[in-house]
Structure 1
Amino acid sequence: MTLRLGTRRSALALAQSGHVADAITRLTGVPVELVPIVSEGDVSRASLAQMGGTGVFATRLREALLAGECDLLVHSLKDLPVAGAPGLVVAGIPPREDARDVVVTLDPGGLGALPTGAVVGTGSPRRIAQLRRRAPRVNAKDLRGNVDSRMQRVRDGELAGIVLAAAGLSRLGLFDPAEDVDGPRPGLGAASDLYLEPLGLAEWPTAAGQGALAVEIREDAPSPVRQAVAALDDAASRLAVTIERAILADIEAGCHAPVGVHAEIDGDEARVRSVVYAIDGSTRVGVDRTESLTGGYSRTTGGGNGAIAADGADPTARAALIGSAIARRLLDRGAAGLVSRESPQ
């Protein structure tokens, strides 16, 4: 048996699909071939928010999977809508990579050295809001294109910088997340002429699921397919992204909304930072919590509001409850008004 893995044609999609294919073969001995598929998001030049968010990349791939054109898909989990697709299931979440954002510049001083009025590009409303809040002197600009074209616009001087996901740069061999260097550092390979500055998750929480991959199959997939994909699943990564995506779902925010959230699993505890931003950066609502994943009875607010019942038997179900309770806390503090006013500009 050879598994057919459906993938977008971009360099990043092919790279991360190749990583998953190699991992399946290494763990199970089952060969995997890549099946490139073109999505609407690959051919349209409209902004992601105008097209309905990054879920546009998943739609065509899912159609191909349901039609039997392939056996499995690999998504960047941050780009996957929180609502599941009928007939499909995320059967594997490999170990999560670096969840941080990275600012890419020609200037070795990074974001802090950019002059007033410098233009920084990103396709994410959440990153635009964070730039407007944390670096108000720069101008945030909506941006489309693959990693290579975005970096070239920095080289050409059209943009002073761009913001990208560390995990994507790592999968392309352009960034080493393990390098113990504070501040900007030269990129690797094709990015060696640029400076890459990782942004700390405490001040710059990223998209739900950022750094993680989701391997999706049909609900009625044959047992060999299910077993091959299940071999990839990492329990800690699944728990963390379950919390993050439950927060998005319960505040009714799509994967392109100005929401930063990051959960870190440490033994039986989950440390969660979540922030909802006004798109102009003027306002933010945040909740930081540490919650037990096993038993107990914890609360995110007083008076019973946001209580999490003890579960013990199912850590994933409890992770979802933790995310829901944090979402309620965010809503109590006014997050709904910020999400309803979100705008790509």
Structure 2
Amino acid sequence: MKRPLRIGTRGSALALAQADQVIRRLQARDPTLPTEVVIIRTSGDRGQREVRGAFVKELQHALLKGEIDLAVHSLKDLPTDPAPGLLLAAVLEREDPRDVLIARNGWTWATLPPGARVGTGSPRRTAQLRALRSDLVYLPLVGNVDTRLRRLREGRYEAIVLAAGGLIRLGRMAEATEVFSLEQILPAPGQGAIAVEIREEDEATRALAERLNHPPTWWAVKAERAFLRALGGGCRVPIAAYGSLEEGRLVLEGRIAALDGTWMIRDRIEGPPEMAEALGETLAERMRAAGPFKEDGE
């Protein structure tokens, strides 16, 4: 009997839903493929979110030790510098990359009362939201989707902001009060995309994983991650980027903002998809030269 393909994932409802997507797509190609889900608790799950790669490093260690055959990540959690011995083998077709508002009392972004408490764990979101409305109070919000929604129901916030993709995968998009446009809030690099990581020398798993790759998403996130890497940014820096293919051209938009919303730099670039990394790097260099960007996000 063939040994099951061991798929490593975090244990949150969203992480398990993403792993299930990978399994279903693999088995759509080969219904006889046996799989086994291996749940791995990460530093981020233990509350150590300040650690670089907090939500992925234990999964990567398990890969390197041969305990799992592939790891499923939210791409936005994966550091832009490749881990030695590992390979980003595929990126699944991206889910809706936008952010959404979930508010009490049916409030929308425009009708939230002045002084309303808005919860978000993202400096990127906070910076862009403050630029839109400086009359609201922005408070930290951490935890998985269920935890964040529970804290809203408990009355700790009047509204919270989450990624649309996660809600869609959990079947909870109906709870959103409003979907922000990309003009209002540009997403984090890689937001909405699922990444599949493998050991570099594992050719058999690589052949399976590469079947999952969605080229338009691959080129788009490649540009976004090159942009982020060139700026030296991470999850604590208000940097946003979104790439898309339009009539065969890769269009990349970037934003860099002050956390207090007092300034924001916007720019865009386009070119052939095969030049994705160069486009991201060029846009980063151009924007760094254009304004008062600081790598610590202050």
TM-score normalised by length of structure 1: 0.82
Following superposition, the deviation at residue 196 of structure 1 comes to 2.9
Q: Does 1:38 align with 2:41?
A: yes
Letter in 2 for 1:39: T
Letter in 2 for 1:214: A
Following superposition, the deviation at residue 52 of structure 1 comes to 3.6
Contact 1:276-1:285 within 8 A present in 2 as well: yes
Q: Does 1:320 align with 2:277?
A: yes
Contact 2:128-2:184 within 8 A present in 1 as well: no
Q: Does 1:211 align with 2:192?
A: yes
Aligned position for 1:342: 297
Following superposition, the deviation at residue 255 of structure 1 comes to 3.8
| Residues 84-138 of structure 1 deviation map (CA, whole Å, 9 limit, x = unaligned) | 1110001011111100001111232322211111111111111111121112111
Contact 2:267-2:287 within 8 A present in 1 as well: yes
SS in 2 for 1:42: coil
**Which of 213, 223, 231 is the matching residue for 1:233?**
213
Letter in 1 for 2:290: R
Taking the aligned partners of 1:219 and 1:28, their CA distance within structure 2 comes to: 23
Taking the aligned partners of 1:338 and 1:10, their CA distance within structure 2 comes to: 35
Taking the aligned partners of 2:75 and 2:51, their CA distance within structure 1 comes to: 16
Taking the aligned partners of 1:5 and 1:238, their CA distance within structure 2 comes to: 21
Q: What aligned pairs does 1:1-345 form with structure 2 within 5 A after superposition?
A: 1=2, 2-29=4-31, 30-44=33-47, 48=49, 51-52=50-51, 55-175=53-173, 187=174, 191=175, 195-221=176-202, 223-289=203-269, 291-293=270-272, 315-316=273-274, 318-334=275-291, 337-342=292-297
Following superposition, the deviation at residue 26 of structure 1 comes to 1.0
Contact 1:75-1:214 within 8 A present in 2 as well: yes
Taking the aligned partners of 2:20 and 2:265, their CA distance within structure 1 comes to: 38
Contact 2:237-2:295 within 8 A present in 1 as well: no
Taking the aligned partners of 1:339 and 1:207, their CA distance within structure 2 comes to: 18
Contact 1:24-1:32 within 8 A present in 2 as well: no
TM-score normalised by length of structure 2: 0.95
Contact 1:278-1:341 within 8 A present in 2 as well: no
Following superposition, the deviation at residue 43 of structure 1 comes to 1.3
Contact 2:226-2:280 within 8 A present in 1 as well: yes
Following superposition, the deviation at residue 33 of structure 1 comes to 1.6
Please provide the CA RMSD for this pair: 1.4
| Residues 176-228 of structure 1 deviation map (CA, whole Å, 9 limit, x = unaligned) | xxxxxxxxxxx2xxx4xxx431111122101001011110000011x321111
Taking the aligned partners of 1:255 and 1:31, their CA distance within structure 2 comes to: 36
Following superposition, the deviation at residue 332 of structure 1 comes to 1.1
**Percent of aligned pairs with the same amino acid:** 40
Taking the aligned partners of 1:65 and 1:118, their CA distance within structure 2 comes to: 44
Taking the aligned partners of 1:74 and 1:110, their CA distance within structure 2 comes to: 34
Taking the aligned partners of 2:99 and 2:34, their CA distance within structure 1 comes to: 33
SS in 2 for 1:68: coil
Contact 1:258-1:278 within 8 A present in 2 as well: yes
| Residues 275-312 of structure 1 deviation map (CA, whole Å, 9 limit, x = unaligned) | 001111111111023x231xxxxxxxxxxxxxxxxxxx
SS in 2 for 1:12: helix
